[in-house]
Each structure stands twice: as structure tokens, then as C-alpha cells.
Amino acid sequence: MGTEPTTTGTDRATWWRLARHALEMAVAMVVGMVALEPLWSSAWPDLGDHVTAHVLVMATDMSLGMAVWMRVRRHGWPGVLEMCAAMYAPFAVLLPFHWAGALSATALVAAGHVLMVPAMLAAMWRRRHEHGC
């Protein structure tokens, strides 16, 4: 008799719902950035020259798009706020390295976006019951 773990249909369904929700969140974040970027460009034409402000504005745009979609999907405010915090957390960790000159602007933006993924997944996993899992 083997003691190998088996994956049940329920396990697959749970992961599928989380993956689908993550994809929805990514789309909502992109929509937020695309929709709000023209507003920022007209209000603050040289925003791109201010790296700290630029990454915080990007995180805000993504958070707004994601928050709107989460509310449409009837998520509670605590879950929405945790997901928004996941957008800012990577930059909160990385900005001091940028300010110290140890991280270029390009590396800051790239690393911040990459680190958002595990931050979002952690927030989603913490509230997986809200995603029907």
C-alpha cells in the first residue's frame, strides 16, 4: 500500500478558483493602470521623473482597479484592504534600497511588480473562503 498523497477534485477546484481570481485581479489591475494613467499624465506631466511617486501612483492605480472589481464581486472591505496592502508592500520594502542607491529605478519597478504576485497570493490564500474555496 502506498502512502502517496492524492489530489482530489476538491483540491483542484480550490486551486482553479484561486487561479481564476488571481487572473481577474491582474486584469483589473491593468485596467486600473490604463484607465487612470491619462489622468496622471495630464495632472502631473513629469511624474515619471519622480520614481518614488511614480511607483506609488502605479500601486494606487492597480489598487483602485482591483478594489472596484473586488467590490463588484462582493468581497468585504477587510479583504479588499488586504489586497490593496499587497500592492504597496513590495514598494515599502524596496524603496529604501532605491533611496540608498542599491536598486535602480528599473529594478525597483520590476522587482515591485514581481513581488506583488506572492503578496497577492498570500492575501488571497488567507481569505480563500471569500473566493468560494
Could you state, in order of their start, the residue ranges of all structural domains in the chain? 12-131
pLDDT of residue 7: 53
Question: What confidence tens digit (pLDDT) does each residue in 55-106 have?
Answer: 999 999 999 999 999 999 999 999 999 999 999 999 999 999 999 999 999 9
CB 130 within 8 A of CB 79: yes
pLDDT of residue 132: 59
User: Would residue 132 be called left, alpha or beta, if left means φ above 0 and alpha means ψ between -120 and 50 degrees?
Assistant: left
pLDDT of residue 21: 82
